[in-house]
Amino acid sequence: MSLDTTQKQQLINNHQTHGTDTGSAEVQVAMLSERINRLSSHLQSNIHDFSSRQGLLKMIGRRKRLLSYMRSKSKQRYNETISKLGIRG
């Protein structure tokens, strides 16, 4: 369920705010969203994997907290991020 180095680098390049940005809220939300999507597809075929389901819920909560932080700091960055990722927010 984890991401390869090349996939992480692509996500960072697509969502970074400046050249050396690797840990901004946008990048973190993008990485969490990708991991959430992968884990969701895993859980559709493995319905009794309860420990992975718990990890999924924790990731969703972390992404929700990051998005609320972004919304409080900059509404424009928040709107751009959720539209780029295609999530409800």
Question: Does any domain span residue 17?
Answer: no
Question: Does any domain span residue 18?
Answer: no
Residues in the chain: 89
Question: Does any domain span residue 34?
Answer: yes
Question: Does any domain span residue 33?
Answer: yes
Reading the chain (89 residues) residue by residue, the pLDDT tens digits are: 678 999 999 999 999 988 898 899 999 999 999 999 999 999 999 999 999 999 999 999 999 999 999 999 999 999 999 999 999 86
Residue 49 maps to which CATH number? 1.10.287.10
Compute the Cα dihedral for 70, 74, 75, 81 and give only its sign. Answer: negative
- Counting the structural domains of the chain, the total is 1
Containing structural domain, residue 69: 23-85
Calculate the CA dihedral of residues 81, 83, 88, 89 and round it to 10 degrees. Answer: 20
Question: Does any domain span residue 68?
Answer: yes
